Structure 1
Amino acid sequence: MGLIAEFDIDCKALPLAGMAASVPEATLTLDLQFNHGDGPLFIVTVQNGSRLDIESAFTEAYDVEEWALIGQAGDTRRYQALPALSLEGQLGEHLDDLEGLEALATADAIIERIDVVPDGWRQTGWFADREAFSTFSSFWQRNADFRLHRLTQDRESEPAGDGLTDRQHEALRIAYERGYFDIPRQATLKDIAAELDISPSSVSERLRRAQTQLIEETVATTWPPLPN
């Protein structure tokens, strides 16, 4: 089972950290696209902040060769930026282990979100197992200031209804097909019982248990806890 981690990497040499420091009122989210030549292309989503200040920061950023606005919706703007340096070139003077940096590219992990902040990057990522996370975190602990905020298991939810027994499935299906849940009802418990060859009280209990199970698996999981 995988792990979901939220953490900070404090390293001011990371791409666009200097830009984030120059426009602190803006929120910068970075997406690295690795299918463009030797290095990644930056896709930067910016919220808040003055457009003039943000675009001046792009122009003045030492790690951006050229940039272009590619989309806007309200106060949210999206930019494409070509980095002026490779990751190795940008971080080389600040990291002792460049080979370890290259090895992270093949780690069994997916970085899902990068928020650029003045001190570095705040990230959320998925890791295949604890060993993959340990490899990643150990590298940044050796080379920067790594702070873990949250580490949880990635629990994939089961499809609704998996907790039902075969008899509950059958009772629900027949009740639905015969119109027991229609308004007004097209069938009674006695009708469903006759088809299942059980008593009406047994049908009632089977349907209640099935409905309770469905509620627990779907709706109930989204409810906030009741106050004590």
Structure 2
Amino acid sequence: MIVEFHIDAPLLQRTAETLSKAAIRIQRLHCESGDCRAVAWIGPVERPAIEANLAQDESITDYAHVAAEGDGHWYTLHTTDTTIDTIGESLLNADGFLLGAAQTGDDWVFRARFPEKSSVLSFRDTLVASDINIDIQTITDDTEASPQFGVTDPQREVLLLALNRGYFTVPRESSLSDLAAELGISSQAASERLRRGTRTLVQNTLAAPERPLVGSPPE
């Protein structure tokens, strides 16, 4: 199952504040013996500006440029931040692994995969015992997800119906209530599926240098 959770961690906060228009995303995280190595994408910012900030960021002990991609850059970053270290080791102990994380300015939004719900609870309890405030937003059974861009089957159904019935045309050829009636659901349910499915599609295609980091909440 896939879990989305928010955590307040100082990692790269100075860089995020200085490069206020930049996106900072972690794609890989490996922690061992108090040292964490993260693979991160930062952009859209020129490389000199990124590295000037990384050099001044107290949460980073070392960094190395890997490659440019899109309008940003990939880096390997080392940190001794205790919160990130606890997250990395707790994921490993709970048989989970990171799918991605995004710096939002106020906190980090993590997305991770776990084999079962008991693993999620074990992971959460370990963080709480370490005085780390974890805010779990969604727990999604990934067997519900479509292989096409991460949308769920109900989201895919309403998106395709909206396309086929002219909901996206200007002017619209059908209304939200028309879609809901055809699917046999409420207008509110149709609206939520449509919005969440659209959000996931944009995140999976336009918003990231490669894979999305934050998935859609379950139905």
Pairwise TM-score range, normalised by the shorter structure: 0.5 to 0.7
Separation in 1, partners of 2:159, 2:124: 32
Separation in 1, partners of 2:138, 2:33: 34
Q: Does 1:40 align with 2:36?
A: yes
Question: Which runs of structure 2 are paired with 1:46-65 in the superposition (5 Å)?
Answer: 46-65=42-61
Change (3 A) 1:107 1:5: same
8 Å Cα contact 1:44/1:79 also seen in 2: yes
- Secondary structure of 1:44's partner? strand
Offset at 1:220? 6.2
Offset at 1:110? 1.7
CA radius of gyration, larger in:
1
Give TM-score, length-normalised by structure 2.
Answer: 0.57
Change (3 A) 1:43 1:153: same
Change (3 A) 1:61 1:47: same
Cα-to-partner distance string for 1:84-127 (whole Å, 9 max, x where unaligned): x3xxxx327x99xx7x9745432121211111333332111111
8 Å Cα contact 2:34/2:82 also seen in 1: no
Offset at 1:27? 0.6
Q: Give the equivalent residue in structure 1 for 2:6.
A: 8
Q: Which runs of 5+ in 1 are unaligned?
A: 160-215
Change (3 A) 1:153 1:39: same
Q: Give the equivalent residue in structure 1 for 2:160.
A: 223
Separation in 1, partners of 2:26, 2:90: 21
Q: Which runs of 5+ in 2 are unaligned?
A: 148-152, 166-178, 182-219
What RMSD, in angstroms, separates the aligned Cα atoms of the two structures? 3.7
8 Å Cα contact 1:11/1:144 also seen in 2: no
Q: Give the equivalent residue in structure 2 for 1:73.
A: 69
Separation in 2, partners of 1:36, 1:145: 22
Q: Does 1:155 align with 2:143?
A: yes
Identity of aligned residues (%): 17
Question: Which runs of structure 2 are paired with 1:1-228 in the superposition (5 Å)?
Answer: 3-12=1-10, 15-34=11-30, 39-83=35-79, 85=80, 90-91=81-82, 102-141=89-128, 143-155=131-143, 223-224=160-161, 227=179, 228=181
Pairs aligned (count): 157
